[in-house]
Amino acid sequence: MARFPGLLTAGISSHLQFCLGFCMGERCMRLWNLASRINDQTLTYNIHRAQNDGTQEIMPVDKYPSYVVCHGMRPGTVRVWNISRASFRGRPVRVEHGLFSSADVALARDLRLYILTDRGMATFTDTPTPVYQTLLVYDLLTRSYVKRQSGLFIVPCPQQDYRLLKGELLLGLSENRDHLILWDLESGYIKGRIKTYHRESLLTSTPLKDIQSQTVSTGARKGLLMPWDWRTESHTARKRRQECEVQREKEEQRCLEREKHNSIDQYLLSGDEKVVVCSYFAHHLNVFSVVTQEHLHTLEDRWSLLGLRIAALTHSGGHLVISNYSETQRSPYLTLWNTKHGRIQKRLKNEPGICCVAITSDASRIAFGISKCNKLKVWEPFRRKHKTISGYRGLKLDVSSQLYITDGGSKAILLADEVSVWDLDAGTVLSVFTPDSRIQCMSVLSNENSSLLVGFSDTPALISMTLSKQGLTTASRDKRQDQMFGESSSSEEEEEPESNRVR
């Protein structure tokens, strides 16, 4: 009926309504509501019962902040939730089934679903290429299709490689993943291609004299020649060794240049949808402008593989923080790049085990988690401040953990099997939310209530949690935007009760 981490040491239950107890090694009491589970038929094992449908993705609606759209674990299931009214947080205001299949791609924006379907083969190219040929636009308000456009040629990509931008623009990858494509969904044609038109590198402009000096230093660092061998080395042997090192350096340089032709591994899009950063399984990253469709800068580090697996981009795209490993110094780094100028701005040396990272909008504070010691660290690069926050008992950080910074950088929200709230200024853990089910997704809303939404893998329920309401004033909003699905009622309470801050 209920699950909990640890061994229940003592507990009490009255009238089978609630169970109160505590686990071994914990300092807090746990309360379980058993009233809603006593007659729950899902607790009975039945091979013929339907599987529960969880939540795959939570998508806030920018145009209507009172609503969120959730994709279910089953293909074609979409739910719309009203998160501003307390009386509607227990049930969705709209549920749709069978809108698309697992072979289709569905993207949501402003209470509309953009479905790419009818996958076929394009024969007008030299080699047949799979494409999506039809776009369906479904309005969740009117529960009807408002547009059907055929004759498209949209290259299939994984769901996470598509971005639906403002102005009905679709951002995706080309068939060989070597550049980005912008499709105009209004006309169905390609609006532009975002690619690198020149592949010149900072390494090609390095003079041969500098290469020789770098080769000597790196050669000594790699142990190719011991210090006492320098004194006994003849002039002919020294010249022959330097020629071999220069030849080896040129070969390494050619390998770095060949990396310019690698396919795109991953890309990050800024919050304002104006800057995109691409990684290539290489020693460089490329920065592009979505507005002008131009290549802005190439971020290069010849001694480190640069990736976006553990990275964060500011809202405007002006700064990028990534975790990388220096092959020459044999030390892990946390590097802050300035994408406007294409250079490294700050570095934090000897930081192993980084598994998640978050950055403020002005890059003044960076928070990152350490998987081995289960700690959270805070770095202020412009003030040269760095501190460590110890984790709580049972915290397990790994590469699947997600970290968010809220309240102007004063608080952090961590998803690591549990949801925890951290005070970065005081260096403490404020609260921990441990659900009975596995958390599938989470979305942090940047509204006046500092709330977050949690979806589970085995139940369609959406959990809404408010971090804090003390000292906050609720901004006036248009009540008509809270009644888009006919949920208006004069007897409803607009605000949540004090006891239900966490639902």
The string of pLDDT tens digits covering residues 362-405 is 999 999 999 988 899 999 999 988 999 999 988 999 999 999 99
- Which of 461, 326, 468 lies closest to 408 in space, CA to CA? 468
Interaxial angle between packed helices 208-222 and 235-258, expressed in degrees from 0 to 180 and rounded to the nearest 10: 100
Determine the Cα–Cα distance for residues 246 and 104; give it in Å rounded to an integer.
52
Residue 467's pLDDT is what?
75
Kindly indicate the confidence band of residue 449, based on its pLDDT and cuts at 50, 70 and 90: low
Residue 12 has pLDDT above 90, yes or no: no
Residue 224 lies inside a defined structural domain of this protein: yes
Residue 323 lies inside a defined structural domain of this protein: no
Residue 15 lies inside a defined structural domain of this protein: yes
As a whole number, mean pLDDT of residues 420-424 equals 94
Residue 219 lies inside a defined structural domain of this protein: yes
Residue 481's pLDDT is what?
64
Determine the Cα–Cα distance for residues 264 and 306; give it in Å rounded to an integer.
12
Residue 381's pLDDT is what?
94
Residue 207's pLDDT is what?
47
Residue 476's pLDDT is what?
45
Residue 133 and residue 118 in contact, taking contact as beta carbons nearer than 8 Å: yes
Residue 40's pLDDT is what?
61
Q: Which of 72-81, 118-127, 180-189, 451-460 has the lowest mean pLDDT?
A: 118-127
As a whole number, mean pLDDT of residues 206-232 equals 53
Highest mean pLDDT among 55-69, 232-246, 436-450: 55-69
Domain span including residue 242: 208-256
Residue 2's pLDDT is what?
67
pLDDT in tens, 104-163: 999 999 899 999 999 888 777 677 888 999 999 999 999 999 999 998 889 999 999 999
- Which of 346, 425, 339, 343 lies closest to 382 in space, CA to CA? 346
Domain boundary among 256, 288, 318: 256
Kindly indicate the confidence band of residue 501, based on its pLDDT and cuts at 50, 70 and 90: very low
Give the rounded percent of residues in the chain with a pLDDT score beyond 90.
Answer: 50
Residue 470 has pLDDT above 60, yes or no: no
Residue 44's pLDDT is what?
56
Residue 123's pLDDT is what?
73
**Which carries the bigger pLDDT value, residue 316 or residue 13?**
316
Residue 171 has pLDDT above 70, yes or no: yes
Residue 217 lies inside a defined structural domain of this protein: yes
Kindly indicate the confidence band of residue 224, based on its pLDDT and cuts at 50, 70 and 90: low
Total number of domains in the chain: 2
| R_g of the chain, CA atoms, integer Å | 27
Residue 241 lies inside a defined structural domain of this protein: yes
Q: Which of 45-49, 72-76, 136-140 has the lowest mean pLDDT?
A: 45-49
Average pLDDT value for the chain: 83
Kindly indicate the confidence band of residue 198, based on its pLDDT and cuts at 50, 70 and 90: low
Residue 305 has pLDDT above 60, yes or no: yes
Residue 245 lies inside a defined structural domain of this protein: yes
Residue 498's pLDDT is what?
39
Residue 446's pLDDT is what?
72
Residue 84's pLDDT is what?
83
Residue 25 lies inside a defined structural domain of this protein: yes
What is the side-by-side strand order in the sheet with 105-109?
105-109, 112-122, 129-139, 144-154
What amino acid is encoded at 424 in this protein? Answer: L
State the DSSP string of 379-434. Answer: EETTTTEEEEEE--TT----TT-EEEEEGGGTEEEEESSSEEEEETTTTEEEEEE-
As a whole number, mean pLDDT of residues 295-307 equals 92
Residue 478 is classified by DSSP as -
Residue 5's pLDDT is what?
64
Kindly indicate the confidence band of residue 254, based on its pLDDT and cuts at 50, 70 and 90: confident
State the DSSP string of 311-380. Answer: EEE-TTSSEEEEEEEETTTTEEEEEEEETTTTEEEEEEES-TTEEEEEE-TTSS-EEEEETTTTEEEEEE
Cβ neighbours of residue 368 under 8 Å, at least 6 residues apart?
323, 334, 351, 354, 356, 357, 358, 376, 377, 379, 403
